Structure 1
Amino acid sequence: MDTPPQPVKIAVVPDRPRRFVFVLMPRFTLIAFASAVEALRIANRMSGRRLYDWRVIGEGGTSVACSAGIAFALDGDLGELTRDDTIVLCGGLDVAQATTKRLLNWLRREARHGAPVAGLCTASYALARAGLLDGRRATIHWENHDGFLEEFEEVELTKSVFVMDGNRYTTAGGTASIDLMLKIIADEHGEELAGAVADQLIYTSIRTDQDTQRLSVPTRIGVRHPRLSRVIQMMEANIEDPISPAILARDVGLSTRQLERLFRRYLNRSPKRYYMELRLGKARNLLLQTDMSVINVALACGFTSPSHFSKCYRAQYHITPYRERGAQGTRTEA
C-alpha cells in the first residue's frame, strides 16, 4: 500500500503547473523519455503539488514505437503550442530518417514563438537540422558525436552529460534525462526537492553539466596506468593527424619499447594496432552517420591513401567502406 510521503517544502508555489510536451520520434530511446517523465512525476508526488504536467505527441498523432519495439499511444499530432510549454524532443535510432521536413518546420515555428526546446539523446541532431542550436553549446550521445561534429560546424558540441544554453537544452541520452530534470527542478523549486526526487529514483550521484558522458579512459579499458591512459587520450584527440608511437612515448616519458610493452601487457595489441582501431572506429561512425564521401572520411581519420584506407577497413570489418555505405539503409544501427 502506497503511503504518501511527507511533502517537501518548496519556496515558491506556482500559479499553474509547468507543462512539458514530449515529442516522440520513431524508434526513440525509451530510457531517456521514461527517465525525464518519472523525474517530473516524482517531483509532483514529493511536493504534494502538481508542479508539472506533460503531454505526449508525435507525427500522425496516433502511436509511435520506441527502439525496443514497444508502441506508445499519443495524445495528439504536432499542433500549435503556447509559449509557456516546454518542448522535449525524444530521439533514438535512425534519427536522420526520423527528422522529417514537417517536424523541422514545426520545430522552427514553435521556437519562433519563444518556447523552450530540449533534445534528448540523438534528438540534438534534429534541433541542429532545424537551426535551433546555431551558435549555442550542445551535446549528443557519444556514438553520434563524430557525425554531428562534421555536419554542424555552427554548433559548439561538448561531451557533457547535458547542456543548458539559454532556452535550448540537450542531453546525451540514457539517464542524462534525470540530471537535466533534476537541474530544472532544483532551479525552480530548490535543491531539497531535487534531492528527494533523486532519492526516490535511487539515483545516488547527481551529475552536472560539467560531467562528461563517457567513462574515463582507465575505467573504459579496465586499466589504471596513468601513462597508458595519457597516451590513449592523446590518440583519441589526434585521429585526423596521427602521432607516431615514438612521439607518444616521448611525451609521456617512456621509450618506444616501454610503450610497446605497456600496450602488449594491458591491451594485448601494439600501440600502432590500437591507434588503427580507434581511427577505423571513427571512420565507421562517419560512414554510417553522415553523407561524407568515402575519400573525405578517409582523410578525416588520418588516411592519405583511399586504397590503404579500404584495405585496413576491410581487414577490420570484413567489408569495404563503399559497401558499408551502401548497406547503411539495410543494417540496424547500434
Structure 2
Amino acid sequence: MQYWSKSTRQTRKIGFLLFDRFSNMALANLLEPLRATNTLLGRQAFEWQICTPDNGVVHSSSGLPVMATTRLGDLGRGDYLCAVSSYGHSSLATPATAKTLRALSDRFDTMVGVDTGAWLLAAAGLLDGHRATIHFDLQDAFGERFPMIDVERARWVRDGSRITCSGGMAAFELACDLIGADHGAALLLEITRLFMSDSATAPQAMARVRGDRRVDACLREMEANIEAPIPLPVLARQVGCRQRDLEQRFQKHFGATPQKVYRRLRLNAARRMLESGGLSIAEVALRAGYGDASAFSRAFRTEFGLTPRDVARGALITAEARRR
C-alpha cells in the first residue's frame, strides 16, 4: 500500500448527526465509501459515530430506524461533523438545534450540511459569509432566507471549514473526494470500481485521472487483463505513447509506476476472490496473473500485511457463521 500518492496514516474521526426523516441514501453514500476504504487499506483510516438530537432512535424518510451509537455529550473532537436531514427541515431549525450545532462546531474541524442539513447549519449562523449549496428544489428559498450566504448551484461545495452537499447521490461524490484528498487517485480508482461508478459520476479527483485519455486507456487495459498481465512496453504501444511518457503520466496521477498500479489492481482482484471463497489459493494466484503461488503470497503479504491464507480463513469463518 506504499504507492498511494497522498497516503496518510491519520485516522479521520467523523460524527453523523441524524435528524428525523433524514435521507438514508445520503447516509449510506457517505458511509459505504469510508467503510470500503478501511477494508481496502486494511486499517481504520476513518472512524465514525452516529448521534441524534435526543440521543435516541430516529427514522429515515423511508421509516428505517437508526439508533445512536454515542450520546451527543460524549462526542470528542473530530475532523468532520455531518448534519444529515431531509424532510421537515423548517420544523427542525429550532433554537435548540442551532445551539447544538454551534457547540459541535467548536469540537469538529469541519461542519458538513447534507441535503437540508445545509439549512440547519445556515439557521445556526454557521454558513454566514460562506459559499454553500443545498438540494436544488430549495435553492431559491435558501438564498432568500439566508442572504449572508453565497448560494451556488452545485452538487457539493467546500468553502474553508464548511461543506454543503445537495443530496444523496452527491454524497457519494463528496465521500470519494474526502478519501482522495488523503489517499490519492489510485485508491479512488478501486473505490469507484467497487461501487460500479464511472467517469460521469466520479468525484473531481477521479475526473482528473479520467481526463488523461492515455492513462484512462491504460487502466482499462490493465483491468481487462488481470489473469494475463500485459508487459509495459506493449501497454504503451497500445495506448499510443512512449513507455517513458506513460511512466511520467502515472507518476503524476498516482505517485507510482504503471507496474505498481497494475500489481495493486491484480492483488485487489485476488483479495476479492479470496473473500468470496470457493477458490484455492493456487487458483486465485493464477487468476491474478501469478504462475508461482509462493511469489503471489509474498506480494500479497507485502501489499496488505496479511497472507492469502489469512483472508481465505476469515472468509470461511464468516460463511460458517452465516450458516448457523
Whether the TM-score (by the shorter chain) exceeds 0.5 is yes
User: How far has the Cα of 1:162 moved from its partner?
Assistant: 0.5
- Structure 1 residue 129 and structure 2 residue 123: aligned? yes
- 1:43 paired with 2:5, answer no
| CA 152–196 in structure 1, closer or farther in 2 if over 3 Å, else same | same
SS in structure 1 of the partner of residue 72 of structure 2: coil
After TM superposition, the structure 1 = structure 2 runs for residues 54-93 of structure 1, keeping only pairs within 5 Å, are 54-79=48-73, 81-93=75-87
Match of 2:19 in 1: 25
In 1, Cα distance between the equivalents of 2:183 and 2:9? 13
CA displacement at 1:113 relative to structure 2: 4.2
Cα distance in 2 for partners of 1:122, 1:171 equals 9
Does the alignment pair 1:106 with 2:96? no
Does structure 1 conserve the Cα–Cα contact (< 8 Å) formed by 2:13 and 2:79? yes
Query: Percent same amino acid among aligned pairs?
Result: 28
Corresponding residue for residue 153 of structure 1: 147
- Which structure is higher in RCO with an 8 Å CA cutoff and minimum separation 6? 2
Q: Among residues 151, 172, 178, which one is paired with 1:178 in the alignment? A: 172
Could you list the runs of 5+ residues in structure 2 that have no partner in the other structure?
Answer: 208-324
Contact 1:8 1:46 in 2 (8 A): no
Bigger drift between 43-52 and 109-118 goes to: 109-118
2:191 counterpart of 1:191: no
Partner of 2:197 in structure 1? 203
**Which whole-Å CA distance do the structure 1 matches of 2:124 and 2:61 have between them?**
23
Equivalent pairs counted in the alignment come to 204
Per-residue CA deviation, residues 30-57 of structure 1 (Å, 9 max, x unaligned), is 1011100001001111222210011110
Q: Would the aligned equivalents of 2:20 and 2:59 in 1 still touch at CA under 8 Å?
A: yes
1:52 matched residue in structure 2? 46
Distance 1:9 1:172 in 2: 33
Of 90, 93, 98, the residue aligned with 1:96 is 90
Calculate the TM-score normalised by the size of structure 1.
0.57
Cα distance in 2 for residues equivalent to 1:85 and 1:100 = 25
Preserved contact between residue 176 and residue 203 of structure 2 (Cα < 8 Å): no
Report Cα offsets for 1:301-322 as digits up to 9, x if no partner: xxxxxxxxxxxxxxxxxxxxxx
Q: RMSD between aligned alpha carbons?
A: 2.1
Deviations 1:265-314 (A, max 9, x none): xxxxxxxxxxxxxxxxxxxxxxxxxxxxxxxxxxxxxxxxxxxxxxxxxx
What's 2:156 paired with?
A: 162
More helix by share: 2
Contact 1:162 1:208 in 2 (8 A): no
Inter-partner Cα distance in structure 2 for 1:22 and 1:81: 10
Deviation of 1:85 after TM superposition, in Å, equals: 3.5
Contact conserved, 1:121 with 1:141, CA < 8 A, in 2? Answer: yes
Shift of 1:131: 0.8
- Structure 1 residues 67, 138: closer, same or farther in 2, change over 3 A? same
Task: Check whether the contact 2:6–2:184 (CA below 8 A) recurs between aligned residues.
Answer: no
Q: Given that residues 124 and 140 in structure 1 are in contact (C-alpha distance below 8 angstroms), is that contact kept between their aligned partners in structure 2?
A: yes
Contact 1:19 1:86 (8 Å CA) reproduced: yes
Measure the CA separation in 2 of the matches of 1:190 and 1:18.
15
Structure 2 residue identity aligned to 1:22: F
SS in 2 for 1:120: strand
CA contact (8 A) 1:138 1:155 kept: yes
